[in-house]
Amino acid sequence: MSSPQAVLVARPRRSRIIAITVVAWLAYIGLDFLLNAGILARAIDWKQPGLLSPTQMFQRIPLGYLSFLFATVLLVWLMLRMEIRGLRSGTVFGVQFGLFTAAIGFFGLYSIVSFRPQTLLLWSLESVPSLTVVGAIVGEGLVRERIRKLVRVVLVFVILCFIATAVLQNLNASHRAKTGSQAGLPTHNPLW
């Protein structure tokens, strides 16, 4: 415990747990937006049979964010029950939890859908960085006496994720304009 802020909070109040959960969930949303709408947008074949139309996908985004809230709540609950505290321990647990849930998602979906395994693997592994960040935030939030600075850092992180996504989308649009669909880029990605 190197700073006065890194004091172990033995029994966090319910309001503190809720605040940490909401902040971690916002980080999950920000990173997911960057990953799916920015970094991975060109890697997915959006014309695969079985995918919803772009409009339907867009309409269902809130359901995806709700699933992130459930995952965040579960991770917080497990960390509290297992007494996992601190940035490092939270990060390690987030990686483990992310890999475990990615494996569940991959094998569960692979057993019932016809998507290419690469697509399923990409979607499944996408949760690992997000849950790693969630674990780190929760772990750090549980040992800090005050979480205001952590909240500010996370809000800056989320804003940077949205800015980076906008930059990547503009780069993708520029690339599409130069090469067209001949390069295998989708012209109907719902996140562009």
Residue 14 confidence (pLDDT): 94
Residue 190 confidence (pLDDT): 46
Domain-embedded: residue 5? no
Instruction: Tell me how far CA of residue 35 lies from CA of 40, 88, 159, 164, in angstroms.
Output: 6, 23, 14, 10
Task: Return d(Cα 106, Cα 118) in angstroms, integer.
Answer: 10
Domain-embedded: residue 104? yes
Please identify every stretch of the chain with a pLDDT value under 50, giving residue numbers as ranges.
Answer: 1-5, 7, 182-192
DSSP label at residue 180: G
Domain-embedded: residue 41? yes
- This prediction's pTM: 0.85
Q: Which domain holds residue 21?
A: 13-45+97-172
Residue 182 confidence (pLDDT): 44
Residue 181 confidence (pLDDT): 52
Q: What are 100's two structure tokens?
A: 């475990």
- Report the domain count for the chain: 1
Considering just the CA atoms, what is the radius of gyration of the chain in Å? 18
Domain-embedded: residue 136? yes
Domain-embedded: residue 181? no
